[in-house]
Amino acid sequence: MNQHTFKVASWEFYDHNSLDNFDLVQNTENIYLTFDDGTVYLCQIEDQGTSAERSILGEYGAHFSNGVFKGLWLDEHTYMSAVGLEIRGAQVGTELYGAHDLHQQPQSIYLNMERLEEHPELIKSLIQ
């Protein structure tokens, strides 16, 4: 997963206490997750017709152990563990579990994404 960009098909937040959930991708199109050593970038690329614009929606710390993705640091105090990781070819699915960074309630983030053959141009400029 490291040094790859993924097109996010689903980024579903689920609050275990309130049972609320929402999918970031339903409200925001063209979401990408890029793993660059110890940093993970959550980006949106908006097509403006003749040009495109990149927005960084989040920047997180990545935790790898022996090359295996173990979780994300949402901030210096909030860690989300990768509970499961399924990789089938270019398709990747995982559940991240931990305390919500604002209210510390348990939450899961269910990610489904597809590994791209190369980084989109606007993301290449971010990681170089």
Tokens of 85: 């990781």
Q: Which of 116, 104, 98, 101 is nearest to 45 (CA)?
A: 116
Give the pLDDT confidence score for residue 60 in this predicted structure.
93
Q: What value does the mean pLDDT take over residues 95-99? A: 93
Query: pTM for this structure?
Result: 0.87
Quick one: CATH architecture of 5-127?
Beta Barrel (2.40)
Distance, CA of 10 to CA of 52 (rounded, Å): 22
Tokens of 99: 């305390």
The count of other CB atoms within 10 Å of the CB of residue 23 is: 16
| pLDDT tens column, 22-72 | 888 887 888 999 999 889 999 988 876 777 788 888 999 999 998 889 999
Q: What value does the mean pLDDT take over residues 95-121? A: 90
| pLDDT tens column, 112-121 | 999 999 998 8
